[in-house]
Chain A
């Protein structure tokens, strides 16, 4: 993450196609095009893991089946706690095989169709369910040195609770932090940057869909708000020059060409 920030390498989120897609072939092609474009730009591709609990294909199998190439430091995989143990290890092994080192480890969103790791599956004790903390510890112990492990931070949750959680994540092996969407200077983010020893990337919300953003940040943003994602991104760079930027819901047709000169020092 430090290297990404120093070299102005954006993190660009791409969602693998959903399992229940009714136009899978088109989705696969669109995915491959986006992937290649981000790779060619020198940015880091971030592949979600069943985002929002929607059953989707895994990033590692997309790379495998579509024959996509992986460059060091340019692919990050999200990994959540909704897997079977066997499936979890398959994904981690595939990452190692494909040369993927960056993992964003999150508790994640479940659905009735997604299995959930049990504490016993990964040798966790004294907890009722597996969260990102237990998963981090498992990955660190089972695959020592194989991965750069990142964690999420939500500045909109009750603050004490969230910082305490971050401390547990750091103790479990977290090496970088990515926040929930930030749209302006935020006191909790300021505190995070002042106290957290790890490099931090901010999520920059690139969509104009404010109701989704409201859901993500957990408070209601009035629909009448004027929200310009590109301007907001510039503002975030000015406000938080020490941070990386994680671009979610980036419009490849409408926005991609606009971000080439947004990160200036």
Chain B
């Protein structure tokens, strides 16, 4: 809400993390955000709270406390068995109204990006999407939210000085979770879901989660990615062969996806997935910023390109100058099939 003489800045306290719950399980991004929230709360001498909206989730609060939460609010209700934007947003707004957090963090997942903008409007507060950096002004608690803009060509820092709470979404695998400490203690607060007539306006009638359909770039430790230089969909067959030899996954640049050579699910970059694999091998990807922001925190970056001067070849740990159509078959030949 907008701050005014009746609604004082000081009335808002603590950093909240809205848990990402999928099929009844709290997702790793939640722990990453708790890690980020812990650092912010420590600057302010305040607490980290996690908000868990789910069905059958009451038993999972311990892990959150061990990872750095001081308190966990649980709304355990069958209405949250599937992702229900409207009821979740309404409930969050009620909780915000009641407990008045200073900042609220949420994963920039498909659910988070649907839910939090709704909360921002209903609670009349500012929201910054896809933050890659979070800091806090120790004096007034303003969140300094850094996010890539213009396809990552510019980093913008955003403040919401006149509204509380301050909302931010953060991509999975951008922040680091703290090591779990089972000795940590914290409070668990149970809150009910308040039914509303508008609940009848939307029903989730089917849910399909699968590890099969997902191109699990997020969990892959070795990613081989291709760009425009693959020249066509056939080029990706080479990448698939290599991936199967090293137990890796296949990624792609936006150019290759836009060209229709490989489905969107493989796209790495600002408008695709953010990855953090042990090895990222970019084959004929020039390395536009929009791509780099999605993979630059990988441990070892290998670039393969005919052109030695592309941005990707500059940032790579290992840069191979040559024709991928000659080198990849050779590489596949030299790695024994398992």
Contacts and interface: CB of A to CB of B under 8 A. Distances in A.
Q: Do A and B touch, yes or no (CB under 8 Å, in the complex)?
A: yes
Interface of A: 53, 82, 107, 109-112, 114, 116, 128-129, 131, 157-158, 161
Nearest to B323: A158
Most buried by B among A109, A110, A128, A131: A110
A161 B261 contact: no
B259 A110 contact: yes
Most buried by A among B233, B258, B259, B260: B260
Given A110-B258, A157-B231, 16 more contacts: A53-B259, A107-B232, A110-B260, A110-B261, A111-B258, A111-B259, A112-B258, A116-B260, A129-B233, A129-B261, A131-B232, A131-B233, A131-B234, A158-B325, A158-B326, A161-B325
Contacts of A110: 258-261
A158 B238 CA distance: 15
Contacts of A128: 233
Interface in B1-32: none
Most buried by B among A112, A114, A157: A112
A109 B232 CA distance: 9
Contacts of B233: 128-129, 131
Contacts of A129: 233, 260-261
Interface string B240-260: 000000000000000000111
13 contacts: A53-B259, A107-B232, A109-B259, A111-B258, A114-B260, A129-B233, A129-B261, A131-B232, A131-B233, A131-B234, A157-B231, A158-B326, A161-B325
Nearest to B264: A112
B167 to A, nearest CB: 30
A158 B326 CA distance: 9
Interface of B: 231-234, 258-261, 323, 325-326
Nearest to A218: B306
Nearest to B258: A112
A162 to B, nearest CB: 11
Main secondary structure of the interface of B (DSSP, over half): loop
A24 to B, nearest CB: 24
A158 B231 CA distance: 12
A200 B7 CA distance: 79
Contacts of B326: 158
A116 B261 CA distance: 9
A254 B260 CA distance: 38
The 8 closest A-B pairs by CB, nearest first: A116-B260, A112-B258, A110-B259, A129-B233, A110-B260, A158-B325, A111-B258, A128-B233
A111 B326 CA distance: 27
A82 B260 CA distance: 9
A110 B139 CA distance: 52
A53 B254 CA distance: 14
Contacts of B260: 82, 110, 114, 116, 129
B228 to A, nearest CB: 10
B97 to A, nearest CB: 42
Contacts of A53: 259
B21 to A, nearest CB: 33
A153 B260 CA distance: 21
Nearest to A112: B258
Contacts of B259: 53, 109-111
A133 to B, nearest CB: 11
Contacts of A111: 258-259
Nearest to B254: A112
A148 to B, nearest CB: 25
Contacts of A114: 260
A107 B326 CA distance: 22
Contacts of B325: 158, 161
B260 to A, nearest CB: 4
Contacts of B232: 107, 131
A129 B233 CA distance: 7
A259 B259 CA distance: 36
A109 B260 CA distance: 9
B234 to A, nearest CB: 8
A109 B233 CA distance: 11
A35 to B, nearest CB: 29
Contacts of B261: 110, 129
Nearest to A131: B232
A49 B178 CA distance: 55
A158 B261 CA distance: 20
Contacts of B323: 158
Contacts of A157: 231
A112 to B, nearest CB: 4
Contacts of B234: 131
Contacts of A131: 232-234
Contacts of A82: 260
